[in-house]
Homo-oligomer: A and B are copies of this chain.
Amino acid sequence: MGGTPPRSPLAPASFPDLPVIAGVEFATAEAGVKYSNRKDVMLARLAPGTSVAGVFTRSATRSAPVLDCQDKIGRDSRNAAAIIVNSGNSNAFTGRNGRESVSRITAATAEALGIDESRVFSSSTGVIGEPLPHDRITAKLSELAGNLQAGGIEEAAGAIMTTDTYPKGAGAEVTIDGQRVKIAGIAKGSGMIAPDMATMLVYIFTDAAIERDVLQSMVSANADLTFNCITVDSDTSTSDTLLCAATGASGIRVTEANTNFIDALRGVMLDLAHQVVRDGEGATKFVQIHVTGAQSDADARTHALSIANSPLVKTAIAGEDPNWGRIVMAIGKSGAAADRDLLSIWFGDVLVADRGWRAEGYREEDGAAHMTGTDIDIRVDLGLGGGTATVWTCDLTHGYISINADYRS
């Protein structure tokens, strides 16, 4: 941790050119929470009138900052707000001290910005179970408050990284009633990634004006189709947090009827979710698993996640082995309905198994050819009904073992 692992081979070429969101300013600082010589704290100030919605880990051992955010998230949104995030220490499983650290950080942020503490949302990511040296963060607040600027989102994306090999950003612009609204988001996460959710922090900003409850339902519904459909290693973090802030600075009101906005927001969320998978620890392949013909969407999702989380499937993909027997195994163990003799499997466009038996004319070299790419598509049809699901994962490689067998020591 804190070293510089090589950039993921699946990373995008560069950080995208994101729209600047009116009503949001960013600042970053080197607080030395754990890392040296890098930015490890980011502050975002949100203009008065900003709505904030959130989705959080369902872990029973969630961290102190997550509990504090959950407590604050439903409150009204007339006043200015802030988001403060540190990397290096997750302030999770830190008992009463953890709550104390959150309180100190949010109080100091509120004071530095002259806003209400109930409007300061904090996140922490990094090692679990170590006391958070919150004084190092609070000592930086006046510097942070003095450096706030509208254009700092890329630096913010860098400051929240832990084992990430690249900063993650995505944006969109949507036309509503002839006027443009903008969306820009950043994320971090590369290990401990699984639905509900991951060691994943996501912050999305828009200048649309959206009622808090409306924003919350948009974000929750989109999360089920994006961040809750990715898995790196089936391990769920205690700290997962997605916050979405709508500043309203564009003056353009957005409601549930603006499906183009909802679609664009989902596009930004999906882009960020895919970037997290593409930075999966040790990943060399980006894998899409699409299941059709299940008895229900829920069954399709159970099968898709069983495939995506199977170590034997993931190592076969790492080895570029079109080992469809392991797909059959993963479906069989998932617990959801399946009939062996109705099951069909494709690798890319190659039909490998046709209703319970190796497809006539299937040649292993055709399956193998698809596996040599970096983007792998696995499709399964269960032949039982209309249920579908898509999930995304990466392969399981020596790189994952190397990163995680020495993460902390």
Contact = CB atoms under 8 A, between A and B. Distances in A.
B312 A192 contact: yes
Interface of A: 57, 59-62, 90, 92-97, 127-131, 191-192, 194, 196, 233-238, 309-312, 315-316, 318-321, 323-326, 328-334, 336-341, 343, 353, 356-358, 368, 396-398, 400-402, 404-409
Counted per complex, copies of this chain come to 2
A338 B60 contact: yes
A236 B332 contact: yes
A234 B233 CA distance: 12
A93 B196 CA distance: 33
- By DSSP majority rule, is chain A's interface helix, strand, loop, or mixed? loop
Contact of A340 (B60, B97, B315, B328): B60
B401 A329 contact: no
A396 B401 contact: yes
A329 B60 CA distance: 9
A316 B60 contact: no
Contacts of A235: 310-312, 326, 329-330, 333
A319 B331 CA distance: 31
A334 B90 CA distance: 20
A74 to B, nearest CB: 22
30 contacts: A59-B332, A61-B340, A62-B340, A93-B340, A93-B357, A94-B357, A95-B341, A95-B357, A96-B357, A128-B325, A128-B329, A233-B311, A234-B309, A235-B312, A235-B329, A235-B330, A238-B328, A311-B396, A312-B404, A315-B401, A315-B404, A315-B407, A316-B404, A316-B408, A318-B405, A319-B409, A321-B405, A321-B409, A325-B408, A400-B401
